Amino acid sequence: MKYSQSKEEFLRANKTIPGGVNSPVRAFKSVNIDPVFIEKAKGTKITDIDGNEYTDFVASWGPLILGHANDTILKAINEAAAKGTSYGAPTKIETEMAELICEMMPSIEKVRMVNSGTEATMSAVRLARGFTKRECIVKFIGNYHGHGDYFLIKAGSGALTFGLPDSPGVTEGNAKDTLLADYNDLKSVEKLFAERGDEIAAIIVEPVAGNMGVIPPKKGFLEGLRKITKKHGALLIFDEVITGFRLAKGGAQEYFGVTPDLTTIGKIIGGGLPVGAYGGKKEIMDNLAPEGAVYQAGTLSGNPLAMAAGVAMLKELKNTEGIYEELERRAAKLEAGILKNIAISGTKAVINRVGSMMTMFFTNEKSITSFDQAMTCNTEQYAEYFKLSLEAGIYIAPSQFEAMFVSAAHTDEDIDKIIEANYKALI
Ligand SMILES: *Cc1c(COP(=O)(O)O)cnc(C)c1O
């Protein structure tokens, strides 16, 4: 494939945009090549400005569970746009969105819309602190909750990829209120609560870790967090920005049967537009202004275009019979195909998968259940694999520590294609 136009555009972008990109992982740095610039996408196909076409398994990092440019969502956005793009005043569709979220994810009794996952987690933690009148939070090493200051302590995703677990600009004051625990290790959590239980406002957790590669919760881990928080009067926040509406209609909390106090969501609920939200029990959510004293606001929050896209997305997910079973079937087929390739080629690798999210880890370990194990991965081997995949017309995340997403738009043929490309890349 030729990438000359992308190379040229990247040089141009670098002159006026830091690193040439508006979000770090897009720069392909951890796979040591220049990024491809995208021209357009439809369904599962994404086309770059050199005219190369790829089958996409990034799905804009999670949101596009129905594939690119879904007709129903596009229609909703177009109809909304014709009526104006923002009013800064209440609209009916915001309530419709809230009702859909509350219905699909019953632990959410009230919900506030924001514009990104980052905003959702920052606001949820402020609310948890305001509600409990405590200052510390517990976060897991390698979990990613957006780029809010007090989350950029041993964070996952881009922060992990670039080896910047502690970003300059995050103050010591912020860092001292973030207590770190090990994912899938209840003992590390119990220890923090034994020492400082009465200072801890909340535990925030990705119920399935997705930003150090996919790592499922061990049996009893989420239940344990529920128990510990209850015992100590702290809140449990599920960061379902990836898992919400992906693992099940009701997200990871439905999938695993554990109910948090607050939930943060994003990605899928925007239908491809910039949206986040946080919600939970009424008595907690009613502490938000203007009802309560905890302040949080947004000029474009509940934006009519974003709400139109989100409502269309959630309705499709809610009303399409068997959609999650079908996602599971296709993702399982993909996993089985790759596992076979791993065995045939003698590659040292393991796969973690929960529903339609999965990661292939290049590692000598037998399984990856912790951050430390994830760190054993051979990222150079991943970079090589990424390049070969791209050449074969498969677009996957340009980092070992991300998820691959199967969408409802992926056909069996798409799945076969990636299994074949994976075979060539591993052999
Ligand atoms: C992507 C992500 C966020 C941040 O969302 P943005 O919309 O990128 O700000 C937060 N939490 C998790 C689990 C995520 O995957």
Per-domain boundaries in the chain: 4-69+322-426, 71-319
DSSP 30: G
* Tokens, residue 66: 């129905």
Phi, psi of 200 (to 5 degrees): -90, 120
Residue 167: the pLDDT is: 83
Q: Using CA atoms, how far apart are residues 89 and 66, in angstroms rounded to an integer?
A: 30
C-beta neighbour count of 357 within 10 angstroms: 24
Contacts of 135 (CB under 8 A, 6+ apart): 129, 177, 199, 201
Across the beta sheet with 394-395, what order do the strands follow? 38-42, 45-48, 53-56, 394-395
Of the residues 267, 269, 300, 405, which should be mutated to test ligand 1's pocket, given the most ligand atoms within 8 Å of the CB?
267
Residue nearest to ligand 1 atom 14, measured at CA: 241
308: Cβ–Cβ under 8 A, 6 or more apart, which residues?
76, 77, 79, 80, 93
CA–CA dist 363, 404 (Å, integer): 17
Report pLDDT for 162. 58
* Residue type at 328 in one-letter notation: E
For 136, phi then psi, to 5°, come to -85, 155
144 lines ligand 1 (CB under 6 A): yes
> What is d(CA 100, CA 107) in angstroms, rounded to the nearest whole number?
13
Domains 4-69+322-426 and 71-319 share a fold: no
Give the distance (Å) from ligand 1 centre to CA of residue 260: 18
Is 210 near ligand 1, meaning CB less than 6 Å away? yes
Q: Which two tokens stand for residue 288?
A: 């938000």
Report how far residue 401's alpha carbon sits from residue 135's, in angstroms, rounded to the nearest whole number: 30
pLDDT of the residue at 168: 86
Ligand 1 atom closest to the CA of 240, numbered from 1: 13
Tell me the C-alpha distance between 361 and 354, whole Å: 14
Domain covering 4-69+322-426 in this structure, CATH number: 3.90.1150.10
Q: What is the number of the ligand 1 atom nearest to the C-alpha of 116?
A: 7
CATH architecture of the region 71-319: 3-Layer(aba) Sandwich (3.40)
Q: Can you read off the two tokens belonging to residue 210?
A: 């997705």
For residue 192, what pLDDT is reported?
96
Return all residues near 303 (Cβ < 8 A) that are at least 6 apart: 85, 86, 115, 273, 275
pLDDT of residue 231: 98
> Which pLDDT does position 172 carry in this prediction?
83
Element (H, E) at 181: strand 178-181
Ligand 1, from 58, 145, 215: best to mutate by most atoms within 8 Å of Cβ? 145
The answer to whether 93 and 340 have CB atoms below 8 angstroms apart is no
For the CA of 117, the closest atom of ligand 1 is 5
Q: What token pair was written down for 223?
A: 């239940």
Q: Tell me, what's the pLDDT at 156?
A: 77
- Ligand 1 pocket test, candidate residues 157, 241, 301, most atoms within 8 A of CB: 241
- The residues assigned a catalytic role are 144, 239, 267
- Is the CB–ligand 1 distance for residue 145 below 6 Å? yes
Decide whether any atom of ligand 1 lies within 6 Å of the 398 Cβ: no
Rounded to the nearest angstrom, the distance between the alpha carbon of 145 and the centre of ligand 1 is: 5
Spatial contact of 196 and 171, defined as CB atoms under 8 Å apart? no
- How far is 419 from 356, CA to CA, in rounded Å? 15
Largest CA distance in the chain: 61
**For each of the chain's 427 residues, which pLDDT tens digit applies?**
899 999 999 999 999 999 999 999 999 999 999 999 999 999 999 999 999 999 999 999 999 999 999 999 999 999 999 999 999 999 999 999 999 999 999 999 999 999 999 999 999 999 999 999 999 999 999 999 999 998 988 877 777 765 445 688 888 888 889 999 999 999 999 999 999 999 999 999 999 999 999 999 999 999 999 999 999 999 999 999 999 999 999 999 999 999 999 999 999 999 999 999 999 999 999 999 999 999 999 999 999 999 999 999 999 999 999 999 999 999 999 999 999 999 999 999 999 999 999 999 999 999 999 999 999 999 999 999 999 999 999 999 999 999 999 999 999 999 999 999 999 999 9
